[in-house]
């Protein structure tokens, strides 16, 4: 029978052996890179590297390190080499001169729990499949014609949101804004993809979907030993890969039910000459069978729809909630943007997407919100081959973080960078289409977010309609300067506490 002393000895021996093996592995890597100049960065510890140098908000820590190490920072997360892009200049050099070399995706081990994940456009490897999906996205769902043709659908979804909030608030009640933003964004994407609304704020299925997505995101960003030491992937020491797969299967079941309901709806109604949606495009796709699949499997189809639903919803909800928060903290900015909407749109008709180009201050509010509250990093990239970059050697398979949050708050690019000042964008040509490298909420280069033209419409329509339809008040006892501005790290930087407000309906 094994005694406690024996068990302790065995555990210690295994740990020592593992550490010795990892040190040997790292020494081999160091020998292979000797004589080559890597970017500067904090020294790090044996084996673990710089893991313990990062705070729970790593984008903040890495932005601070720029002041010591400059625009390129080299860190080692366990055995994973990592390059951090921390300035507009470095981002420009990457996207203009090295986009191809840096265009692959770095998937952590949590994301490798199911090969279906790599079917998404955001996480697929750079190659024929990615180009095929990019083409489908840009020509079939995010084309200018498709976006313009579906404007009435977005207006209808936003009208429902206004009614939901009005019914809930009744002029005096406190309303939690996020559930209404979630349901509306979800339905906006649902109509593009499946030609139907999917949820309402009290929908059980919708709440299950959102809760599972949040749980999945928390699992994916959770510190995972296998992410830092990929050689331990077969152990799955914390069981995270299995948990990710379990949550993903539950989410895909819900998405599959949305798809089946949509198929039955079309079969029952026998709708003729209807406009094709993205589900039709995916189901009718026929690839060449060589570097493209001949057909898209049901599971991959559900995964692609999940990507559209989550990516489109997360950015929109997070940005609109932060915009409302910033405006409530800055009453003078709230006054200016509402006055502009009253002047340009008036109160005798509803806000329309055609008004956006004439609403300069509203556009500045959206830009300023995206500057201060983008996702923490662009989706991590991986280096395809050994590359000479800005005088440094970057080895193949290096993980690349582009600190979008840090770029937006870099004092070398922005005056008073931590303050909410929409005026900085008035009369400025700076935009979020990937050519102003100090401002990259949607990325840049080959792998820029293909949905940014739709996001542009959705953000302005939702925020503009909320500001036109209601006067907004904080709860009793909450002063503008005491609003909680804490961030919660995820695929985006959500507000840590959901915004609660009192909407007073206006006649439109």
Pairing relation of β-strands 175-176 and 80-85? unpaired
Alpha-carbon gap, residue 443 to 119, rounded angstroms = 20
The verdict on whether residue 449 carries a ligand-binding annotation is: yes
**How far is C-alpha 64 from the chain's CA centre?**
22
Alpha-carbon gap, residue 278 to 309, rounded angstroms = 12
Which stretch of DSSP H or E encloses residue 489? strand 487-489
Instruction: State the Cα angle at 461 between 159 and 403, rounded to 5°.
Output: 135
The 3-class secondary structure across 280-312, one letter per residue, is: HHHHHCCCCCCCCCCCCCHHHHHHHHHHHHHHH
In this structure, the number of other CB atoms found within 10 A of the CB of residue 163 comes to 12
Residues in the chain: 508
| Closest C-alpha to 430, from 371, 344, 379 | 371
In this structure, the number of other CB atoms found within 10 A of the CB of residue 476 comes to 7
Residue 71, C-beta contacts closer than 8 angstroms, at least 6 positions apart: 85, 86, 87, 89, 90, 390
Alpha-carbon gap, residue 436 to 376, rounded angstroms = 18
Backbone CA torsion sign across 458, 460, 466, 468: negative
In this structure, the number of other CB atoms found within 10 A of the CB of residue 248 comes to 22
CA distance from start to end of the chain: 80
**How far is C-alpha 35 from the chain's CA centre?**
38
Cβ contact 422:367 at 8 Å: yes
Tokens describing residue 185: 């964004």
Backbone CA torsion sign across 360, 364, 367, 369: negative
Tokens describing residue 256: 């599959």
> 305 vs 103, 143, 260, 454, 456, CA distance in Å?
23, 17, 13, 16, 20
Pairing relation of β-strands 493-495 and 487-489? antiparallel
- Edge to edge, what strands does the sheet with 470-474 contain? 175-176, 500-505, 470-474
Instruction: State the Cα angle at 447 between 452 and 183, rounded to 5°.
Output: 35
In this structure, the number of other CB atoms found within 10 A of the CB of residue 400 comes to 24
From the annotation, which residues make up the binding site? 449
From the annotation, which residues make up the binding site for heme? 449
């Amino acid at each position: 029978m094994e005694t406690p002393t024996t068990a302790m000895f065995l555990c210690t021996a295994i740990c020592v052996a593992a550490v010795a093996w990892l040190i040997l592995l790292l020494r081999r890597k160091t020998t292979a890179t000797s004589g080559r100049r890597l970017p500067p960065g904090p020294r790090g510890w044996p084996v673990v590297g710089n893991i313990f140098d990062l705070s729970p908000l790593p984008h903040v820590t890495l932005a601070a390190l720029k002041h010591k190490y400059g625009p390129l920072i080299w860190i080692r997360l366990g055995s994973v080499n990592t390059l951090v892009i921390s300035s507009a200049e470095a981002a420009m050099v990457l996207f203009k001169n090295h986009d191809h070399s840096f265009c692959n995706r770095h998937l952590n081990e949590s994301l490798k729990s199911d090969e279906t994940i790599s079917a998404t456009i955001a996480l697929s490897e750079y190659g024929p499949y990615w180009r095929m999906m990019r083409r489908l996205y840009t020509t079939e769902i995010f084309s200018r014609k498709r976006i313009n043709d579906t404007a009435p659908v977005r207006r209808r979804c936003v009208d429902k949101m206004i009614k939901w909030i009005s019914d809930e608030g009744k002029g005096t009640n406190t309303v939690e804004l996020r559930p209404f933003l979630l349901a509306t964004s979800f339905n906006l994407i649902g109509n593009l993809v499946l030609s139907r609304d999917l949820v309402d704020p009290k929908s059980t299925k919708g709440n299950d979907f959102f809760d599972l997505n949040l749980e999945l995101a928390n699992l994916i960003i959770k510190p995972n030993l296998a992410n830092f030491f990929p050689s331990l992937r077969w152990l799955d020491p914390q069981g995270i890969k299995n948990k990710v797969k379990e949550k993903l299967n539950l989410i895909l079941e819900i998405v599959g039910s949305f798809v089946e309901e949509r198929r039955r709806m079309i079969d029952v109604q026998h709708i003729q000459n209807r406009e094709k949606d993205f589900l039709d495009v995916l189901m009718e796709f026929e690839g060449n069978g060589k570097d493209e699949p001949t057909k898209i499997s049901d599971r991959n189809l559900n995964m692609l729809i999940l990507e559209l639903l989550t990516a489109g919803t997360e950015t929109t909800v997070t940005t609109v909630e932060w915009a409302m928060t910033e405006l409530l903290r800055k009453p003078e900015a709230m006054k200016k943007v509402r006055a502009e909407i009253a002047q340009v749109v008036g109160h005798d008709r509803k806000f329309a997407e055609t008004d956006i180009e004439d609403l300069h201050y509203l556009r500045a509010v959206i830009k300023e919100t995206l500057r201060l509250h983008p996702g923490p990093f662009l989706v991590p990239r991986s280096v395809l081959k050994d590359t000479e970059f800005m005088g440094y050697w970057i080895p193949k398979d290096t993980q690349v973080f582009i600190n979008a949050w840090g770029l937006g708050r870099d004092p070398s690019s922005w005056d008073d960078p931590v303050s909410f000042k929409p005026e900085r964008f008035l009369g400025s040509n700076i935009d979020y289409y990937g050519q102003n490298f100090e401002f990259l909420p949607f990325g840049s280069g080959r792998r820029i977010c293909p949905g940014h033209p739709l996001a542009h419409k959705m953000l302005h329509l939702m925020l503009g309609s909320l500001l036109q339809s209601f006067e907004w008040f904080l709860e009793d006892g909450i002063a503008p300067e005491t609003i909680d501005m804490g961030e919660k790290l995820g695929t985006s930087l959500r507000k840590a506490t959901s915004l609660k407000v009192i909407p007073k309906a206006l006649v439109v």
